[in-house]
Amino acid sequence: MFAQISRYLFSIQTPFEDPFTQQRAQAILAAVWTVVAIWAVWFFGLSVPTSSVTTTTLFASGAILLFAVATFLLVKARRIDLASTVLVGALTFISLGVLYFLPQVNPRFILIIMLPLVTAGVLFNQQGIISMGLILGLSVLLVELVANPQSADIGRNPFTDAAQILLIIGLATAILALFANRRQEIARSSLRDLERLRTIFQTVSRVSPQTTQEQILQQTTRFLRDAFQYDSVQIYLLDESERLSRRLRSGVQEMEVLGDDDVIKTGDTHIFADAIRLQQPIQVAIQDNPAQARHFLPAIQQGIVVPIVHRNRSLGVMDIQSVQPNRIQAKDVDVLRILADELGTLLYLLSHIEHLTHDLSDREALANRLQTQLTSLQAQRQQLISRTWSDYIGKRGQEAIGFDLEGSGIRYADEIPETMQQAMQRGEVFVSYENNEKLINVPIRVRGETLGAMNFSVPVDQVVTEKQMDLARTIAVRLGSALEGTRLLEQTRAQAARESKAAEVADMLIGATNVDALLSEAVTSFNEALGAIQTQIFVEPKRLPQDGYTLPGYSNGHEPSSNGGSS
C-alpha cells in the first residue's frame, strides 16, 4: 500500500511517447515536491515557531499549495506544456512576493529573479523564455516604483541597481533563448533519427524464409516516403552483367525489367554509375548541375543517389527525389547510408537463401530418386532372398523347415504355429500366452528380411525382462546369419560335387577313340551320373558337312539304330 502511494506521488507510472517529454514530466514533478518542501521549512520552521503567521503568510501558503496541486494533477493528466506554465507561474508568484517585501532594489534581486527564469529556460521554448524575461524585467521596474523611498540608503541611486539587474536579466534571457530552441531541436532530431533507425531494424530488416526481394524493396520505399517525406523513391538492382536492369518504384508492387534503351551500365556517364563506382552517396540539385539531374521527374528540385553495397560489392542504387529545394542534411544522409547497408545485407541474404533453396530442391529430388532406387533394390533383395530360400526348400520337397524341442528330444515340425506366423508378419518380438505358458515370439531376419520365426516357452508367472528380449533378438539375428551361411555352404558343396562329376565324365569321354565309342560311353556315363533310367543321344545328320552320311544314334542297352538316331 505504502509503495503504491509512493510510486503515485513521486514517479511517472505511464511512460510518454518520447524520452524528452518523459524527462520534462519527471523534472516538473521533482520541482513541485521541492517547492512544497521549501514552503514546509519556511512555514513550519520559521513562521510558526516565531509566531509570525499573518494573513499575508497564510495567503502566500495557500497560493503555493494551490499551484503545487494544480501542477501535480496536470502532470498526472499528461498535460506537460500546461504543467510547465503553471510551475513557472508559481515560481514567478513566489519571487514577486518576496521582492515586494524587500525594502528596496538590491543585488539579492538577482538570486530571487533567476529562479523562475532558469526554470523557464529548461521547460519553455524560445518565445516562452523571452516572454518570461520581459515579465521579470517589468516586475523589477514595478518594485522599484512602489518601493518605499525613505528606506533607501542616503547618497545611493536605487535605479542604478535596477539597471544592473535588468541588464543581467536581459543577458540571461538572451542566452537561454538562443540555446533553448537549439537544444530542443537537437533532442527531437535525435529522437527522430533513433525512431528511423528503429524502424529500419524492426520493419525494413524484417525477413523470413518466405520474404521476396520485391517485398523488402516495397518496405524500403514505403519507409523512405513515410519517414523522410520524399516524393519519389526508386531502387535499381545490378544483374550478373553489372547492369542496372531491374527497378522498383514507390507505389508499384512488382519489379520492373528495363528495356535495352533504359538499362544503365556501370561504365556509362551517369550519376547512378558514378555512385556505384565510388560507392558513396551523391547529392544533386537541379539548379547546381542540370546535366546530372536529367533523370529527375517533373517538378523535382533535388535528390540523392545512395549505392547499395555489401562487403565492398555493389548490388544497386537508391534514387531519392524531392520537390523541396533544400539539400538533404548530413544526418539524413548518414541514416540513408545505414539503410542502404542494411538493404544490401538483406538482398545478399535473400539471394543466398534462394540459391540454398534451389540446392535443397535439387538435393531433395536426388534423395527421392535414390530412395526410389533403394526401395527397388530392397524389394529385389527381398524377392531374391525369398526366391532363393523357396527354391532351396522346394528342392527338398518341402514348403517349410521346422524343428521342435519337446521333452528330451527334437522332433520335426512341418506346420508353422499361428503365433510364429504373427511374429513373421509383425517383424518384431512380442509375448503371447498359450496353454498356461508364456511364449516369446521372435522373427528370424536375414539382411533385414524376415525368413522365419522362433519362440520360447517360459512359465506364465516368470517375468520377461528387457535383457531377455534383447538376448532373443540377438540369437535370432545370429541364427539367420548361420542359416544363410549354411545354405550357401551346402549349395556350394553340391555345386562343387556336380562340377567334379562333370569333370570326371568329360575326362573319360575325351579318352574315346572314335565317335561310336564316344557316344556309347556317353550314354552309359550320363545314365550313371544323373541316375537316369534311360539315356538317349541323337546327332542330326543335316548338321554334318558330308551329304548322305549320318552318324548312328545310341541308347543305353541297345545297338545303334539304322536311321542314325534313337527316340
Q: Give the phi and the psi of residue 455 in degrees, each rounded to 5.
A: -140, 160
Contact present, 442 and 475 (Cβ < 8 Å) = yes
Closest CA to 135 of 173, 190, 187, 98: 173
Q: Which residues pair with 303 in a beta bridge?
A: 284, 321
pLDDT tens-place values along the chain, 567 residues long: 677 888 888 888 777 776 778 888 888 888 888 888 888 888 888 888 887 778 878 888 888 889 889 988 998 888 888 988 888 888 888 777 776 665 555 555 667 777 788 888 878 877 888 888 888 888 777 766 665 454 444 445 556 666 777 777 787 778 777 766 556 666 666 666 666 666 666 656 566 667 788 888 888 888 888 777 888 899 999 988 889 988 988 877 788 888 888 898 888 888 999 999 989 999 888 887 777 888 888 888 889 999 999 888 889 999 999 888 888 887 788 888 888 888 888 888 888 888 888 899 999 999 999 998 888 887 787 777 777 777 777 777 666 777 776 655 665 666 777 888 888 888 888 888 887 788 888 888 887 778 788 888 888 888 888 888 888 888 888 888 888 888 888 888 888 888 888 888 787 778 777 777 787 877 777 777 666 777 777 777 665 555 554 545 555 555 554 444 433
Residue 237's pLDDT is what?
Answer: 92
Q: What is the C-alpha to C-alpha distance for residues 537 and 525, in angstroms, rounded to an integer?
A: 12
Per-residue pLDDT tens over the stretch 18-40: 677 888 888 888 888 888 888 88
Residue 343's pLDDT is what?
Answer: 86
Residue 524's pLDDT is what?
Answer: 79
Closest CA to 558 of 512, 514, 519: 519
Q: Quick check: helix, strand or coil at residue 553? A: coil
Phi-psi region of 397 (alpha: psi -120 to 50; beta: other; left: phi over 0): left
Closest CA to 70 of 37, 133, 128, 28: 28
DSSP 329: P
Decide: pTM greater than 0.75: no
Contact present, 98 and 145 (Cβ < 8 Å) = no
Burial label for 126, CB within 10 Å (0-12, 13-18, 19+), is middle
DSSP string, 195-240: HHHHHIIIIIT---TT--HHHHHHHHHHHHHHHS--SEEEEEEE-T
Residue 566's pLDDT is what?
Answer: 38
Q: What is the C-alpha to C-alpha distance for residues 93 and 98, in angstroms, rounded to an integer?
A: 9
Record the cell numbers describing residue 419, joined without a space.
503365433
Contact present, 67 and 89 (Cβ < 8 Å) = yes
Q: What is the C-alpha to C-alpha distance for residues 92 and 139, in angstroms, rounded to an integer?
A: 10
Q: Which residues does 43 contact at the CB level (< 8 Å), separation at least 6?
A: 53, 57, 61
Contact present, 90 and 35 (Cβ < 8 Å) = yes
- The residue with cell 514533478 is 29
Cα dihedral value 283, 284, 289, 290, nearest 10? 150
Residue 355's alpha-carbon distances to 350, 352, 462, 486, 520, in angstroms, are: 9, 5, 61, 54, 79
Residue 306's pLDDT is what?
Answer: 92
CA-based torsion, 236, 237, 239, 241: positive or negative? positive
Element (H, E) at 476: helix 466-510
| β pairing state of 232-238 and 313-322 | antiparallel
Q: What is the C-alpha to C-alpha distance for residues 493 and 504, in angstroms, rounded to an integer?
A: 16
Residue 78's pLDDT is what?
Answer: 87
3-state secondary structure labels for all residues of 18-44: CHHHHHHHHHHHHHHHHHHHHHHHHHH
Phi-psi region of 78 (alpha: psi -120 to 50; beta: other; left: phi over 0): left
Per-residue pLDDT tens over the stretch 177-199: 776 655 666 666 666 666 666 66
Tally of residues, the chain = 567
Q: Give the phi and the psi of residue 294 in degrees, each rounded to 5.
A: -70, -15
| β pairing state of 302-310 and 449-459 | unpaired
Residue 563's pLDDT is what?
Answer: 43
| CA angle centred on 197, ends 191 and 202, rounded to 5° | 120
Residue 163's pLDDT is what?
Answer: 74
Residue 565's pLDDT is what?
Answer: 41
Residue 562's pLDDT is what?
Answer: 42
Q: What is the C-alpha to C-alpha distance for residues 133 and 128, in angstroms, rounded to an integer?
A: 9
Type of residue at 142? L
Count CA atoms within 13 Å of residue 324 on its CB side: 10
Residue 497's pLDDT is what?
Answer: 83
